[in-house]
Structure 1
Amino acid sequence: MGVMLTEMSLDTLTELVNGWGTPPRQEDGRGDTPHRPVADIAARLRLPACVSAALTPQALAQAADHLHGVFRAESGAACAQSLTQLLTSSGVRPALETGADGAPRAVWSVDDADHALVAAAATTLRRFLADRGFTRIGVCTGGHCADVYIDQSPAGRRRFCSVTCQNRTRVAAFRSRRAAGADS
């Protein structure tokens, strides 16, 4: 029958990629140290207990690195191809399950529990991108940051992972302009 799973929250998805992905950890100087312990992220991933209990730092880092590739894709076509490859390689497929109230509930299924984390994250991204478009995800444009973002704002102009990175970039630009003005 396989492992049944649901999509994760978008915040948890970005936390997974930013906290466990190799590029974000290397860019901000954390090296091999993730933001939080495995148990902290595992509780929020909405994965079946059998999958959450078996998560390792290596599995989280590998999944985060695969997902980071979707965010850093250079074009919508490359993003679609990368995400489609993750969906295909995880073997995820739609399924129905009966809820506690007897009503049908849409879920996803994978045969191999080792693929459940990537499958849950990829299905979450698939839905978001189909609804909002490829320009709504990316890698932070702030200096010395490789964290990813998912833009849920009405305007859809987000380019930074956080207000902190946005402010650092603005302050650096201001100081650069001011120094250039002083040299004139």
Structure 2
Amino acid sequence: MTHQGSAVDALPLRLLTRIVNEYGDAPRAAAGESGAPYPPADALGEEATALWAQRAAPPEKALVETANLLHPVFAAASGGECADRLNTLIAEAGLTPAMAAREWDVREQWRTSRPGRTLLAAATLALLDHLRGDPDASRLGTCLGEACVDVYIDHSPARRRQYCSLTCQNRARTRAYRAAKRAAGSSPSAVTP
């Protein structure tokens, strides 16, 4: 028996977040980059040389559309909302599980029935694989930094990541420090006689 559709391999998670952050409307708008040109899609090959060796880099339109469909998964307010959004992506990508064999080695293989959604299918599969290993959906998030809604996947041992990068974290700490200094300087107890 043969299964309909094309086999899909998961994107590397680092590439997935890079696509969302560099091509998604929300991250670009928050960063004031809405009018700026998109980075060249070929540059993404640095993250997935094996993937791009099998096929050409996706067109810009597919990158933007995929990024915009994925961003809400990271922005979900609960595990239930995350699951609902992933179920929507599974359907949109036409993903179905199947079993495949190479000699006596039988393994799960996902397929897409929608060839135009291969990038979305690969990105969705990456999130499914990640959540299979770590089902805590709160570890998928959007940056709390000012003027930033970039996405991240929290791999930290403490499980408390809130920023997409050290740059955003350091900016937030600097702002908080300066605000505290200003507040301390303007309080009545800080005034010297």
TM-score (normalised: structure 2): 0.84
Cα pair 1:149 1:161 within 8 Å, conserved:
yes
**Residue in structure 2 matching 1:165, options 138, 143, 168:** 168
What is the 5 A alignment of 1:58-73? 58-73=61-76
Residue type at the aligned position of 1:117: L
Which segments of 5 or more consecutive residues in structure 1 lack a partner in the other structure? none
Asked if 1:86 corresponds to 2:89, the answer is: yes
Q: Percent identity?
A: 36
Query: 1:35 & 1:166 partners in 2: Cα distance?
Result: 25
1:74/1:47 Cα in 2 relative to 1: closer, same or farther (>3 Å)? farther
What is the 5 A alignment of 1:171-182? 171-182=174-185
Query: 2:155 & 2:45 partners in 1: Cα distance?
Result: 23
Cα pair 2:154 2:160 within 8 Å, conserved:
yes
What is the 5 A alignment of 1:87-106? 87-98=90-101, 103-106=105-108
Cross-structure match for 1:155: 158
**Residue in structure 2 matching 1:183, options 168, 182, 186:** 186
Cross-structure match for 2:110: 108
Query: 2:150 & 2:125 partners in 1: Cα distance?
Result: 20
Cross-structure match for 1:29: 32
Query: 1:79 & 1:47 partners in 2: Cα distance?
Result: 29
TM-score (normalised: structure 1): 0.88
Cα pair 1:6 1:47 within 8 Å, conserved:
no
Query: 2:57 & 2:175 partners in 1: Cα distance?
Result: 43
Cross-structure match for 2:122: 120
Cross-structure match for 2:17: 14
Cross-structure match for 1:142: 145
Residue type at the aligned position of 2:111: S
- Structure number with larger C-alpha Rg: 2
Query: 1:60 & 1:178 partners in 2: Cα distance?
Result: 43
Query: 2:168 & 2:32 partners in 1: Cα distance?
Result: 15
Paired positions, count: 181
Q: How far off is 1:122 after superposition?
A: 0.9
Residue type at the aligned position of 1:2: G
Cross-structure match for 2:190: none
Q: How far off is 1:106 after superposition?
A: 3.6
Cross-structure match for 1:131: 133
Which segments of 5 or more consecutive residues in structure 2 lack a partner in the other structure? 188-193
Q: How far off is 1:103 after superposition?
A: 4.1
Q: Which moved more, 1:117-126 or 1:24-33?
A: 24-33
Provide the alpha-carbon RMSD of the alignment. 2.2
Query: 2:182 & 2:130 partners in 1: Cα distance?
Result: 42
1:103/1:32 Cα in 2 relative to 1: closer, same or farther (>3 Å)? farther
Q: Which moved more, 1:124-133 or 1:135-144?
A: 124-133
1:180/1:164 Cα in 2 relative to 1: closer, same or farther (>3 Å)? same
Cross-structure match for 1:5: 8
